[in-house]
Amino acid sequence: MDDIVQRLKKLGFNEYEAKSYLSLVKQGPVTAYQVSKESGVPRARIYEVLSNLVEKGIVLKEEINDTTRYSPLPVEIFLQKAQSEWQLTYTEISDSLRSLETSAEKMDNRVVTLKDYKTIISYCQSLIKKAKSRIVISMWDDMYEVLKKELAAAAADQVKLHGITLHVENPIKNLETHRITTFTETSSTERWFILSIDSKEMIYGPSIEARSVAFYTDDPVHIYLLEDYVWHDVLVNRLVRRSQDDLDNWITSERKAFFMEK
């Protein structure tokens, strides 16, 4: 019950209104006293609350034999009404916000911290859909699987995909499959991801399942450096695959020396 109350509050109900409407859905046509008793809304407030719901068209009021009874708007009609109002609000807010964004002066190139798993994923999906010509990625299987649908749709729209994937079987055409190394198989290895759109916008960060944080940037220096990092990863992967020497062990030892790892 508490969960439904919280969800109704997101639709614009206050707590007493949500509890009163739910009580009416459960009981059918009843008096204000019965609503108060079942819902826990104080009797001193129940008439005001029900009056507000009547004004909103969510509760129906009728006089029967000198007794005032209240009944809920049928659930199916209520849901259609809520959906319609939400869609209208969404459209109005969307138009207004886009108008403000278009008219606002462009800020200097920046790096912005993004938090919350759903926010980061939504931001990535939105950027992929904006891609016009080229997407560069470096992704482990967890992040790749979440964004696979959008990446495939972009590729189908003739957007070129470049980059490298880790632990991904049969990645989308042109994406490199990273070789298995000690580094990729170590459990403590941070699963960073990079997503660059047309070399104009980028999101990058650690595994968002472990730490729900990422970074958005439209700074060309950041984008160049991280795209170059991806290219070098792709290049080394190709060189190792073509080489007859045991370059993997050599690369591992050289990396440890560079980063002063034991």
Query: For the domain that residue 215 is a member of, what is the CATH number?
Result: 3.30.870.10
Which of 24, 51, 73 delimits the end of a domain?
73
Domain assignment present for 8: yes
- Which of 73, 94, 123 terminates a domain? The answer is 73
228 class by beta-carbon count within 10 Å (0-12 exposed, 13-18 middle, 19+ buried): exposed
Average pLDDT over residues 77-97: 84
pLDDT above 90 (res 180): no
Average pLDDT over residues 209-233: 90
| Residues 41 and 131 both lie in one domain | no
* 72-85: average pLDDT: 85
Query: In the predicted model, what is the mean pLDDT of residues 178-192?
Result: 84
Asked if residue 139 lies in contact with residue 165, where contact means CB atoms within 8 angstroms, the answer is yes
In whole angstroms, give the CA distance from residue 218 to residue 105.
15
Q: Is residue 43 part of a domain?
A: yes
What band does 192 get if pLDDT is binned at 50, 70 and 90?
very high
The rounded distance, in Å, linking the Cα atoms of 95 and 184 is: 45
Lowest-pLDDT choice from 89-93, 194-198, 230-234:
89-93
Are 191 and 66 contained in the same domain? Answer: no
Whether residue 237 is found in the same domain as residue 158: yes
Q: What pLDDT is attached to residue 185?
A: 86
Query: Are residues 35 and 147 both part of a single domain?
Result: no
Residues 115, 6 share a domain: no
* Same domain flag for 149 and 254: yes
- 16 versus 106: the higher-pLDDT residue is 16
pLDDT tops 90 at residue 47: yes
Task: Please give the residue that has the higher pLDDT: either 156 or 110.
Answer: 156
Cβ–Cβ under 8 Å, residues 226 and 196:
yes
Identify whether 96 is part of a domain: no
Does the residue 98 lie in any domain?
no
Same domain, 154 and 52: no
Mean pLDDT, the chain, integer: 87
- Same domain for 179 and 241? yes
Question: Do 167 and 239 sit in the same domain of this protein?
Answer: yes
pLDDT exceeds cutoff 90 at 74 = no
Distances from the Cα of 103 to the Cαs of 92, 95, 106, 218, in angstroms?
17, 12, 9, 19
Q: Indicate whether 36 pLDDT > 90.
A: yes
CB atoms within 10 A of CB 57: 11
Any domain includes 24: yes
Residue 119 forms part of a structural domain: yes
Helices (H), 108-219: 117-130, 141-156, 182-185
Q: Once rounded to an integer, what is the mean pLDDT over residues 112-124?
A: 89
What pLDDT, on the 0 to 100 scale, is given for residue 66? 81
- Give residue 54's domain range: 2-73
Model confidence at 80: pLDDT above 70: yes
Q: Are 79 and 68 in contact (CB under 8 A)?
A: no
Across the range 22-31, mean pLDDT stands at: 89
For the record, the structure tokens of 195 come out as: 């997503």
CATH number at residue 13: 1.10.10.10
Identify the domain boundary among 15, 46, 73: 73
Report the pLDDT averaged over residues 89-93. Answer: 85
Nearest to 165 by CA among 204, 186, 191, 198: 191
Q: What pLDDT sits at residue 49?
A: 92
In a domain, 67, yes or no: yes
**Do both 120 and 32 map to the same domain?**
no
Residue 101 is predicted with a pLDDT of 67
Token pair belonging to 56 = 């909103």
In this structure, are 119 and 245 located in the same domain?
Answer: yes
pLDDT class for 232, splitting at 50, 70, 90?
very high
Domains held by the chain: number = 2
The string of pLDDT tens digits covering residues 128-152 is 999 999 999 999 999 999 999 999 9
In a domain, 83, yes or no: no
* 141 and 227 inside one domain: yes
